[in-house]
Structure 1
Amino acid sequence: MSIFTQLMWFFRANKRLYIYGLSFLFLTEISQMVSPALLGSFTDRVIAREVTPEILLLYAGGILFFAILMYGFRYAWITNIFQGSALLEKTLRQQLFDHYMQMDTTFYQRHRTGDLMAHASNDLSAIQRVASGGILMLVDSIVIIVFTVISMIFVVDWRLTLIGVLPLPLLVIGVRYLSPKIREAFTASQEAFSELSNKSQESIAGIKAIKTLGQESQDVQAFEKEVTKTIKINKKVALIDSLFGPMATVIMTISYVIMMTYGGSLVVSNEITIGQLVSFATYLGLLVWPMFGLGQLFNVLERGNASYMRVQDILMEKSAIVEDTAGIDTLAQGNIKIDIESFVYPDDSDTKNALKNVHIDIKSGETLGIVGRVGSGKTTLLKLLLRQFDHYEGSIKIGNIDIKSYRFESYLRTIGYVAQENFLFSDTVANNIRFADVNKTQENVELAAKKAAFHEDVLKFPERYETEVGEHGVSLSGGQKQRLAIARALIINPEILILDDALSAVDARTEKQILSALKAERQEKTTIIAAHRMSSVMNADKIIVFEQGEIIESGTHAELMLKQGWYAQMYKQQQLVTTLVSKLDGQGG
């Protein structure tokens, strides 16, 4: 019953619904107790040959009246109790989704998408059943048992009642024995479902890679392995769960045998009438549902308990990125001053600094270029700017104010960020571009697309800006996805624009066109460009070169070329490759 205790916060908040529902349930059970008494009394009238049309109409009308009354009461309690359960599911679903929105990058590194989806679907459904079927079966079973036993005592005979219900405590013993086993089995079942959900999500999301590499059969085998494991665990759940039904049947059979033997002897000795025995048999029949209902209740509660614990484990996790709720709520602007003494990724077994001794000053309106080998620290620095991690030694300030002092909304609205791989929604081109500000007009959308050198491409689409891009932008090329993402960042005219290798999929001519537009449009705004191609940053006001988390070179393009360091070597290599490709293209033409 611990799940009811854990959900008491919800029952208290919505007590009116449950008071109404349980009151009508109570009235339903009272109405249900009348028909067996009427049936027994009518049986005695039949045996005594006292049945007249008036008496027949009276008994039949009485049974029909209470059946209709019971129908109305049943409708009322179902409406209230199931409305409450739907409200619980809505409340928990909203809590979980809000929690997902608040969690940091580390959280999503620990939990896979399929697992999080299983919490939001399968687990919440199991909890929702506690507030509907669980409440119903608990109260219904208890009320029916209590009312039926009382009716047996007063309508039939207290001795027959006492002996007839004597086997029922065996049910309690069985439930106490099976409860911990079903809870453990169902927890394993939910975890297996999470693994299966995650495998399905990964396979569907990576279907292009699977087909391109010809790994369909291997992926099918891996999926079958997960399915087999899940079925094996669910078989164990079913095995334990199925023990309760036969146990309840055996206990009820024992009660019927007692009724036949002892009840029959009471009829023979004229201590009760045949009609009373018929009433007792009918009342005993009413106990069949509570017996099986308790079995289902035991199942629902253990499943709900296991799921609630899984959901609470997720909700108890805290983000390492904490918002200062009393922080600055105006948009951040001004010079950027970065002073990072050291930074190590959380949960990283390698304690080596991802960044160290990074000191950068960027004046408002300047363009900063960041280059370096893969894994040198470029993206790591940008993650700190985006407040994906806060546990670093040092500070990052904008306008002499630490970025941790800003409210999330005011700070992040200052930044337009474009990654190398961007997430596009299964929506129109226009809605993807205006995602950062849904109130932007079509004119704003097209202007942003022109700045990103994407407008001409869109005009060739079947429905232009109303063309659906498909899930994750599946209908677009890599370069088109990047340019759409750039347009999405530019439409809000951000104070700080961050391009994280965001031009890697576009050709040299398009890259030059985009960079020229940015330089013309953003003279008063700050732009940060991290890239592997030197051509993306060569016109920046300042360029820094990262190596193993440290800045090894800095200066303008001309200054770095004079130093003949890593930057100059890479620039010459890339220029040589570009020249060779141009010559080969010319010969091929």
Structure 2
Amino acid sequence: MDVLRQLRGFYREKLHYLILSIICLAAATAVGLITPNLLRRLIDDVIVPRKFTEVPMLAIAVVVVVFVKACLQFAHGFFGGRLGNFLAYRLRNACYEKLQFLSFRYYDTAKTGDLMSRLTGDLEAIRMFIGFGFAQLLNVFFMVLFGSAMMFSINWQLTLVTLITMPFLAGIALKFESKIHPAFQEMRLALSALTTAVQENVTGVRTVKSFARESYEVEKFSHRNERYKNNQIFAAELWSKFFPLMELMASVSVAILLGVGGTLVINGRMSLGELVAFFSLIWYIIGPVWGLGFQINNYTQSKASGERVLEVLNQRIDVKDKENARELVSSEVKGDVEFNHVTFAYGNKMPAVTDIHFRAKPGTVIGFLGGTGSGKSTITQLMMRAYDVNEGSITLDGVDIREYNVRSLRSQISTVFQETFLFSSSIRNNISYGLKNVTMDEIIRAAQLAKAHDFIMEMAEGYDTVVGERGMGLSGGQKQRIAIARALLKNPRILILDDATSAVDMETEHEIQAGFQEVMRGRTTLIIAHRISSLRHADQIIVMNEGRAVQQGTHEELIEVPGPYRDVYRIQYADYLSRATGREGA
């Protein structure tokens, strides 16, 4: 029950619904005990003495009892449903909100399919148990208590003899719970892996087909599906082992009742009506004890699901605001960025960047050049506090960025990532993402600067064209230009371009760069690029290698000295340089 206690804060506000649900179910259980008494009276007071004039009254009494019980059960379902839905609503919002604020470090290893499984299947299991299962589990106690009390009132000796197998039946049910809980935990993990496989396959279907790896994906899915099937079979085997034992114990109780009770009736120590009522009451007790395994099954599922949901809710947020963190005001931000001997490593890995030191004065452009894994993108992620540095500091206008409110810091930064992400919405909404009171003229202006306006207008619905999931239906260059327009519309003080023109051709890149000249004016800009053409106009270029800055200077300074920058320049401009040399020779 520890899991339910941890979740209590999500349903405490509507706890009265749980109380009302339990009361209504307990009342329905108590009302249900009237039926065996009516049956006893029918036999002993009507059938045996042949007083059939009372039959209509007994029939009306049965109808009234059934109606009242139905009303109470309806009320139980009503209040339980309200509670379960309220809990699911609160819990779903809390999980989604937590996912929004979890650090980048969490998403480095998180799997989309697993998270989807937690927010759907696991939440549903919790909703059903809190809404209905808990009251039903508690009702087992009510039914045993009320039924035993009624049986004792009829014949306490027969009650003791008949209920002798109940402790064994309860013990089997509890043993079943201890076995089934780990099985359901493993089943949830297997289902999560299965969901992840489907999600990854659908997302990467173009890659799968381009490599003709359909058979491989089918085989991979089959393995995960088999794991899930085996878990289901193992759980079914547990049910097949334990439930026949429960049925055996229940049958023994009934056999004892009929043997001992029948003898008492024959000897005149018990009426026939009392035996029939007793027979109804024994099933009134055996039913819930026998079904204890089913209720425990629901509990174990919800417990396993609750643990998985709590893993998300209790996840540590690595990057968060300090107490009394400063709020950045756009009009006061100058954009003076400085990295002071920064070192950072992802987890326990080798440092991604080591002793990085540079200053970007307001309005200047800093370019980063280097091979894959050299640490270029890490620098930009540290700037937006995706991660906190291990050593050194990063300052904005002379203040450590850890002193600022994270939200307000990122509101001053626009980033265009190398891997462009677009939402399944219109192009207009993708460009104006997260911004309110944006005019259409401003959207068009940003698209024009990003050289996206012309191809957007060629589409049938223009800016109202809905792009597919993750921008499907658009070329890589088109997606990238829409992402650039989105960044420009934000009107940031700091602009980060992480290889933002890698998916466009040289001519389009030149046009975008020309548009950037206007946009960059007055803003601090960090540019990551593989093409020197994107960096040559930067105020300072930093060449990265294995996480360290191996060269710094302007384009003109760096091509004059031997080093990696001049080597890259000669490779990228080999044709141009050879033609220039040929003209000089001529």
TM-score, normalization by structure 2? 0.94
Per-residue deviation, residues 252-294 of structure 1 (Å, max 9, x unmatched): 2112111211111111111121111111112223234313331
Equivalent runs, 1:451-470 vs 2, <5 Å: 451-470=449-468
Q: State the distance in 1 between where 2:10 and 2:368 align.
A: 52
1:543 counterpart = 2:541:
yes
Query: Does the aligned pair in 1 maintain the 2:418–2:499 contact within 8 Å?
Result: yes
AA in 2 matched with 1:66: V
1:60 counterpart = 2:50:
no
Match of 2:433 in 1: 435
Per-residue deviation, residues 290-318 of structure 1 (Å, max 9, x unmatched): 13331111111222222222332333331
Equivalent runs, 1:488-507 vs 2, <5 Å: 488-507=486-505
Q: Which of 400, 404, 411 does residue 402 from structure 2 map onto? A: 404
Q: The residue matched to 1:313 in structure 2 has which SS?
A: helix
- 1:136 Cα deviation from its structure 2 partner: 2.7
Q: The residue matched to 1:544 in structure 2 has which SS?
A: strand
- 1:150 Cα deviation from its structure 2 partner: 1.2
Match of 1:190 in 2: 188
- 1:578 Cα deviation from its structure 2 partner: 6.8
Query: Does the aligned pair in 1 maintain the 2:177–2:293 contact within 8 Å?
Result: no
Q: 1:36 to 1:80 in 2, by over 3 A?
A: same
Q: 1:4 to 1:397 in 2, by over 3 A?
A: closer
Match of 1:523 in 2: 521
Query: Does the aligned pair in 1 maintain the 2:570–2:577 contact within 8 Å?
Result: no
Q: 1:11 to 1:144 in 2, by over 3 A?
A: farther
Query: Does the aligned pair in 1 maintain the 2:427–2:466 contact within 8 Å?
Result: yes
Match of 1:339 in 2: 339
Equivalent runs, 1:103-502 vs 2, <5 Å: 103-154=102-153, 156-331=154-329, 333-349=333-349, 351=350, 353-502=351-500
Per-residue deviation, residues 443-488 of structure 1 (Å, max 9, x unmatched): 2221111111000000111211111110000110000010000011
Q: State the distance in 1 between where 2:300 and 2:134 align.
A: 13
- 1:8 Cα deviation from its structure 2 partner: 4.5
Q: 1:398 to 1:339 in 2, by over 3 A?
A: same
Query: Does the aligned pair in 2 maintain the 1:24–1:74 contact within 8 Å?
Result: yes
AA in 2 matched with 1:502: A
Q: 1:12 to 1:429 in 2, by over 3 A?
A: closer
> Alpha carbon RMSD of aligned pairs, Å?
2.0
Match of 1:586 in 2: none
Equivalent runs, 1:553-572 vs 2, <5 Å: 553-572=551-570
Q: The residue matched to 1:282 in structure 2 has which SS?
A: helix
Match of 2:91 in 1: 92
Query: Does the aligned pair in 1 maintain the 2:334–2:397 contact within 8 Å?
Result: yes
1:533 counterpart = 2:541:
no
Runs of 4+ in 1 over 6 A off after TM superposition: 578-581
**How many residues are treated as equivalent by the alignment?**
577
- 1:362 Cα deviation from its structure 2 partner: 1.2
- 1:176 Cα deviation from its structure 2 partner: 3.0
Q: 1:23 to 1:485 in 2, by over 3 A?
A: same
Query: Does the aligned pair in 2 maintain the 1:396–1:403 contact within 8 Å?
Result: yes
- 1:401 Cα deviation from its structure 2 partner: 1.2
Query: Does the aligned pair in 2 maintain the 1:3–1:301 contact within 8 Å?
Result: no
Q: 1:577 to 1:165 in 2, by over 3 A?
A: farther
Per-residue deviation, residues 534-588 of structure 1 (Å, max 9, x unmatched): 111111222222222222222222222223532233223212357899xxxxxxx
AA in 1 matched with 2:284: L
- 1:357 Cα deviation from its structure 2 partner: 2.7
Match of 1:47 in 2: 47
- 1:492 Cα deviation from its structure 2 partner: 1.1
Match of 2:15 in 1: 15
Q: State the distance in 2 between where 1:245 and 1:176 align.
A: 12
- 1:213 Cα deviation from its structure 2 partner: 0.5
Q: The residue matched to 2:345 in structure 1 has which SS?
A: coil
Q: State the distance in 1 between where 2:185 and 2:324 align.
A: 41
- 1:12 Cα deviation from its structure 2 partner: 4.1
Q: State the distance in 2 between where 1:111 and 1:552 align.
A: 34
- 1:212 Cα deviation from its structure 2 partner: 0.2
Q: The residue matched to 1:499 in structure 2 has which SS?
A: strand
TM-score, normalization by structure 1? 0.93
Match of 2:583 in 1: none
In structure 1, list runs of 5 or more residues that go unmatched.
582-589
Q: After the TM superposition, which of the residue ranges 547-556 and 395-404 deviates more from structure 2?
A: 547-556
The alignment-based identity, stated in percent, is 31
Per-residue deviation, residues 11-50 of structure 1 (Å, max 9, x unmatched): 5443211111111112111211111101110112333344
Q: State the distance in 2 between where 1:541 and 1:4 align.
A: 59
Q: 1:580 to 1:35 in 2, by over 3 A?
A: farther
Q: State the distance in 2 between where 1:31 and 1:575 align.
A: 91
In structure 2, list runs of 5 or more residues that go unmatched.
580-586
Q: 1:325 to 1:449 in 2, by over 3 A?
A: farther
Q: State the distance in 1 between where 2:268 and 2:11 align.
A: 51
Q: 1:4 to 1:253 in 2, by over 3 A?
A: farther
Q: 1:289 to 1:444 in 2, by over 3 A?
A: farther
